[in-house]
Structure 1
Amino acid sequence: MDIRAYWKLDFTREKMTLWAGLAAFVLAVCFGSPAHANKLKVAAVLNSPVDHQWVSRVHVSLLKARDRGEIDYLLAEAVAASDTIRVIREYAEQGAELIVAESYTVEREARDLAKEYPKIKFLLASSLPPDGTNVAVFDNWNQDAAYLGGILAGSITKTNKLGAVGGMAIPEINRLIGAFREGACTVNPKVQMLVSFVGGFYNIPADKEAALAQIESGADVIYAERFGANQAALEKKKYAIANLMVQDKAYDAAVITSALWNAEPMFDAAIADVKNGKFAAKDYGREYGSYVIGGSALAPLGEWEKKLPPDAVRAVKEAEAKMKAGTLKATIFQNKIDSGPCPK
């Protein structure tokens, strides 16, 4: 057979397949694989290990984006506060296009650094507002879920004393504990709150000790904004409402539910905005953290639904339906929540 005849324009299936394969090969060699052509280089600088509650939500969300082929993901975990700025700068110099970082302890320094790299987008976990054109902020806006947890706690307490163990009295935590108290007080105005702040974000023994002291003072349901409080509830056979994530099954005997933070909608939006040139200096956490769009949720009650008083379950479900419809929202409490009775 004359080889020249074979390569005449003949649109048989075999030849079209051959041509398509050759074209794909040439494109891949010249321009890279299409699946990787639009990957965004994202770096995360996190002050706690990725098995920590809050940090895990950030890490898991970015892992999902990486696994979908949308980003190249660089991670620095358990970074000391004194090293945060240095590590952020290293990622900026390495060509990161979006840097996600905790900036609570270096708020001003992080913003000053961002000004040195105006083409890089920064998404900072922060208590301060956005800044300039390239600094957006975020945090967990799961206070609506905490409110529902409060309804449940206020409905089932037998002592009318509820505990809450938080990391620090910053706005991000104040609004969770405030929402928990608000939910509890709507169904039980006799509630007395016992509130403790342990002064940090990753001190499980201190969390546990604070919760044990609250239990000793009569609290029979604990809002475990900090993980170690779950351990205290389990040890003392009390109840806990966990925070941010579904707890390990080892805690099933104590943890009834959790005020979940589903961070994926927020990070997906920020990544898409950077890619599309629409990234803005705004609060991504607040915009994408609502109950309506699934940014926060109360974890399913599971087997607990059969164990809890029907009135308690009904109260939670009725309030949750309103939150899903956007007709009910928890009040935003910015200031420190102190121990004491329901506000008048």
Structure 2
Amino acid sequence: MERRKFIKYATLAGTSFTFAGCNQGGKSQPQGEVPVWASPMAANEVLKVGFIYVEPIGEAGWTYAHDLGRREMEANLQQRVKTTFVENVSEDANAQRVLRQLALEGNKLIFATSFGYMNPTFEVAKDFPNVRFEQCSGPKRVTNVGTYLGRFEEPRYLTGMIAGKMTKSNVIGFVGSYPIPEVIRGIGAFTQGLRKTNPKAKVRVVWVENWYDPAKEREAAQALVNLGADVLTQDTNSAAPIQLAEEKGIYAFGYNTDMSRFGAKACLTSDLNQWGKFYTEQALAVINGTWKSEEVWYGIAQEMVDISPLNPVIPQDVQQLVMAKRDEFIKGTAHPFDGPVKDQNGVLRVPNGQVLSDREQLAMDWYVEGIEGLIPKVQS
């Protein structure tokens, strides 16, 4: 969809994207009776599963992670499933055309793997009530459309902790995509972890207004280096920031998949999105006749997100500190937004002893303390 409309809609949508009963990972069901496809498939019947991707699969990043999940599902279920994918599909009428074609081709389970596919998915789902759709991120759900998302804020917090210990300039650079709640929440969680280990450190953000644009991502990373950043992180989808960090002799964090092969010295670790287990579970649910529309928001404990192996350059005491916090996330005894949390203006947003609720996280439109600059205003 057109960028300004996308940002405006996503920002507004965040206010209603709630996951009741999903504290520290989990899933919820719509209120009222939810029809369930109760008839299992025949033992010799093959489930056709479709995937729609917003960018080329490539060798790293968001779509690459989803495709790894697709391949893991195939390996797990073997002859019980047959998958089809369409890559580099724009988030507009083209998405609706591709989704409709996947349904017409007999795919009974379709994964729409980007936020911007939400409206096209719902339009197509109305015409194919016997097809199950899974929308990755989105504020609404119907009988044959479920939603799923990872608790990206957990690995974000952990990488922030590492950044706080590895920076010398106390300036961390963040290459941002779009200023929507999901991204702002990630920047906030990273900064919370950063300030936990280094209260003097600050985060600077440069927005590229795109999910995937290697040239712009590299340009943004260079701008952050020019501002004094000696550690980079990102929520964009190419390895360009990691590659620049490797060239400059500074540190960086990968995103979505392990990006260490693009900068073995620079990459301290990567935030991981791991979709294979979820994709396998949803396909099995269709095969067994137990699939139903749910809102899924899983964290490290449910193996949907994590961090990749730590670079040995990170001191052992720092590694132990980070892994101890990871264990707390798994046990549910810690939260990336444990109070007290202040915004960048010093206003207390989360009192001591409380946490930022799911509803508040999913509508997040403010920077936590430690982030410099302003969130870009949405233009109508």
User: Shorter-chain TM-score: which interval?
Assistant: 0.7 to 0.9
CA distance in 1, matches of 2:90, 2:371: 38
CA distance in 2, matches of 1:203, 1:342: 24
Structure 1: give runs of 5+ residues left out of the alignment.
1-33
- The alpha-carbon deviation at position 322 of structure 1 amounts to 1.4
CA-to-aligned-CA distance 1:180-217 (integer Å, 9 cap, x gap):
11111111121211012211111011111111111111
SS of 1:242 mapped into structure 2: strand
Give the aligned partner of residue 104 of structure 2: 93
Partner amino acid for 1:43? G
Give the aligned partner of residue 274 of structure 1: 286
Is residue 2:251 matched to residue 1:239?
yes
Give the aligned partner of residue 291 of structure 1: 300
Partner amino acid for 2:264? D
CA distance in 1, matches of 2:89, 2:206: 26
- The alpha-carbon deviation at position 267 of structure 1 amounts to 1.1
Give the aligned partner of residue 50 of structure 2: 43
Is residue 2:156 matched to residue 1:146?
yes
CA distance in 2, matches of 1:91, 1:266: 20
Change (3 A) 1:340 1:235: farther
Partner amino acid for 1:222? L
CA distance in 2, matches of 1:35, 1:251: 48
CA-to-aligned-CA distance 1:41-82 (integer Å, 9 cap, x gap):
101111211125111111111122223413110111112334
Q: Could you tell me which of 33, 57, 62 is aligned with 2:70?
A: 62
Q: Is the 8 A contact 1:155 1:312 kept in 2?
A: yes
Q: Is the 8 A contact 1:167 1:200 kept in 2?
A: yes
Partner amino acid for 2:232? I
Q: CA RMSD in A?
A: 2.3
Change (3 A) 1:280 1:246: same
Partner amino acid for 2:279? F
Correspondences of 1:84-123 after superposition (within 5 Å): 84-102=95-113, 104-123=115-134
Identity of aligned residues (%): 26
Give me the TM-score of the superposition, normalised by structure 1: 0.81
- The alpha-carbon deviation at position 133 of structure 1 amounts to 0.5
Structure 2: give runs of 5+ residues left out of the alignment.
1-40, 338-357, 373-380
CA distance in 1, matches of 2:171, 2:121: 41
Q: Is the 8 A contact 1:233 1:239 kept in 2?
A: yes
Give the aligned partner of residue 28 of structure 1: none
Give the aligned partner of residue 192 of structure 1: 202
SS of 2:327 mapped into structure 1: helix
SS of 1:186 mapped into structure 2: helix
Change (3 A) 1:127 1:197: farther
- The alpha-carbon deviation at position 90 of structure 1 amounts to 0.9
Q: Is the 8 A contact 1:140 1:172 kept in 2?
A: no
Give the aligned partner of residue 312 of structure 1: 318
Aligned pairs, how many? 303
Q: Is the 8 A contact 1:185 1:342 kept in 2?
A: no
> Greater RCO between the two (CA within 8 Å, min separation 6)?
2
CA distance in 1, matches of 2:43, 2:88: 29
- The alpha-carbon deviation at position 310 of structure 1 amounts to 3.7
CA-to-aligned-CA distance 1:92-115 (integer Å, 9 cap, x gap):
111110011145334333212211
Give the stretch that moved more between structures: 333-342 or 39-48: 333-342
Give the aligned partner of residue 16 of structure 1: none
- The alpha-carbon deviation at position 36 of structure 1 amounts to 7.4
CA distance in 2, matches of 1:179, 1:339: 9
Question: Is the helix fraction higher in 1 or 2?
Answer: 1
Give the aligned partner of residue 309 of structure 2: 300
Change (3 A) 1:71 1:337: farther
Is residue 2:90 matched to residue 1:80?
yes
Give the stretch that moved more between structures: 138-147 or 187-196: 138-147
Q: Could you tell me which of 336, 341, 344 is aligned with 2:370?
A: 341
SS of 2:302 mapped into structure 1: coil
